[in-house]
Amino acid sequence: MFATCLCARFQAYPKDSHLLAVKRIFRYLKSTKNLGLWYQKNSGFDLVAYTDSDYGGCKIDRKSTSGSCQFLKGKLVIWPSKKQNYVSTSTPEVEYMDAASCCSQVMWMRNQLRDYGLDIDKIPILCDSKSAIAISANPVQHSKTKHIDIRYHFLKHHVEQGTIKMYFVSTDYHLVDLFTKALDEKIFSFLVGKLGKLNLS
């Protein structure tokens, strides 16, 4: 997904390197055509989310790519990835803003589940930035976070209410890295396996 989105940014003025990357994507798709996600019946509705951002990852304009993925009882259901519209000035800022976007998605899912009589609180959001987690738990806004737009303090509000619980996850096991940055083959294969993809043939 990340590689496809990255190539799509250059579709107006593609170069030979982009054509080679697209051919590699097609080779990967051809070799993994039997892989798919398996959703078992009666698997439960525990909601868990992962969030991450590749700080200043774009070499052209230094904008970050943010992503998240949400699981219901260990089954992947949502996995957005997006290049941000702004340039962030710090890693904690971009990680916090991405966690706030993930929180919005999680709250939407929570409301959908509530329509079916399931009320979930303390929904875990896993993030690999201890600074972003600290900002979400800090009851006092200080000068270093006042520049962050008010809509992103939506996350802080839900942490204070107890609807959301932020947890730290090591970068080595951070599933969202698949959607935000280029990875070597070994790490990529390991994380794909953790998403719950199975050979359906």
**Per the structure block, which two tokens stand in for 14?**
């593609």
Condensed to tens digits (0 to 9), the pLDDT of residues 83-115 reads 877 777 777 888 888 898 899 999 999 999 899
Task: Name the CATH superfamily housing domain 40-199.
Answer: Ribonuclease H-like superfamily/Ribonuclease H (3.30.420.10)
**Residue written as tokens 């943010």?**
66
**Per the structure block, which two tokens stand in for 46?**
């525990």
Q: What is the pLDDT of residue 148?
A: 67
User: Which residues of the chain are under the pLDDT cut of 50?
Assistant: none
Helix (H, G, I), strand (E, B) or coil at 21: helix
Q: What is the pLDDT of residue 62?
A: 81
pTM score above 0.85? no
Q: What is the pLDDT of residue 69?
A: 92
Q: Domains of the chain: which residue ranges?
A: 1-33, 40-199
Q: What is the pLDDT of residue 18?
A: 86
